[in-house]
A and B are shown apart, each in its own frame.
Chain A
């Protein structure tokens, strides 16, 4: 039986690898707040930023693609992350992936480029709170000081030996978005909880 013969109601409910972890996140000290943003639609976009398709893609997304390395652009509900000189990750609300994927594919047309739905590839965590930089610094060498990493910064790096995309959503609120490969999500969540234990202060 192929996928199209299964009615949507019979498909299994999506299950996040971090299902059931929120209670442990909530037990972290008050100086950090961690929560998962489930089932974000994620599209990997490959296109030449100087080519004709880039303009059509920008029209679909409502904003030009960020071409400055290690930056991101917010456009309405979409978050456009720079992954490479010709590669971006588009974050969109849950369920918006298919429509956006189709529109982007039409925008690219027959020219060089690709759009791939990679929604299940990464889990998304929101990290905020006054000690969030201190928490990340325990496993990450990137300088996240607002002077160096202002709002919109998007770096791909290693945190606790795991490949993570860090997006600075708000430098003053110390609000970060962390994207981790789904198969590493539980390891990373366990690391966050372990690293957060020391943040209680006063001990």
Chain B
């Protein structure tokens, strides 16, 4: 089974984690001023790259903390994990082929 490193607990089995979608999607500043299309875009539209992708994960069976991970969507390799509030690390890595 693949191991994912929790920023708090260290490497654990993938089954201990739940996926939380794309990371760094900021809540809109003035929600009332948004058009329906913009609101729908915020709610439902997500990037879908092939290659490194910043995602939210939660260590559900462990410390139950949310954290961010950069995962290569082509190889499923976890390239980096970092705690909530920390900046996304620069990876300098091209998308997988």
Evaluate contact between A84 and B15: CB separation under 8 angstroms. Answer: no
Which of chain B's residues have a CB closer than 8 A to the CB of A70?
9-10
CB < 8 Å A-B pair total: 35
Give the docked Cα–Cα distance between A141 and B9 (Å): 14
Which residues of chain B from 41 to 73 have a CB within 8 Å of any chain A CB?
Answer: 61-65
Evaluate contact between B62 and A156: CB separation under 8 angstroms. Answer: yes
Q: Is the interface of B mostly helix, strand, loop or mixed?
A: loop
Q: Is the interface of A mostly helix, strand, loop or mixed?
A: strand
Give the docked Cα–Cα distance between A158 and B9 (Å): 13
Which of chain B's residues have a CB closer than 8 A to the CB of A69?
8-10, 63
A69-B8, A141-B1, A141-B13 given; A84·B65 CB < 8 A: yes
Chain A contributes a number of interface residues (CB within 8 A of B) equal to: 13
Which of chain B's residues have a CB closer than 8 A to the CB of A85?
8, 63, 65
Residues of A with Cβ closer than 8 Å to B?
A: 69-70, 83-85, 87, 141, 155-158, 161, 163
A-B contact pairs, 21 of them (CB 8 A): A69-B9, A69-B10, A69-B63, A70-B9, A70-B10, A83-B63, A83-B64, A84-B63, A84-B64, A141-B13, A155-B9, A155-B62, A156-B9, A156-B61, A156-B63, A157-B16, A157-B62, A158-B13, A158-B15, A158-B16, A161-B15
